[in-house]
Structure 1
């Protein structure tokens, strides 16, 4: 009887360059005190610093709703009466 080998999990460290990717640019930050985690500034949640987990989070309903709300908060300039 063969014993299956366990797949070794490694801890991916946060990469500063991810912040410049268009898909993460506005919401991804490092988690202070833990270089294996990231932080979503929109959802206020901690994420594992793995690219697949970050992309998966970006596709969640919660994150998309938060993005829509935040991007919808644009400054509207009103014209004074009489113009």
Structure 2
């Protein structure tokens, strides 16, 4: 993946993360992501830095979504 594509993916994941942070249902833990200090607008950072940020951000989002699914089971229903 090229650096430009990775930065674009980073930006998209940041938007998803900020959306779920605004929801009261999701409790996203982004401590690892914040510790990296790499944002989608940090175009001067290396490709490796953005890759680490994408992984940290995606781990935080998926962990929060997994926890919310366990907390609220959805009843099966047929249409």
TM-score range (shorter-chain normalised) is 0.3 to 0.5
Higher strand share: 1
Higher helix share: 2
TM-score, normalised by the number of residues in structure 1: 0.31
Higher relative contact order (CA 8 A, sep 6+): 2
Give the greater-gyration-radius structure (CA).
1
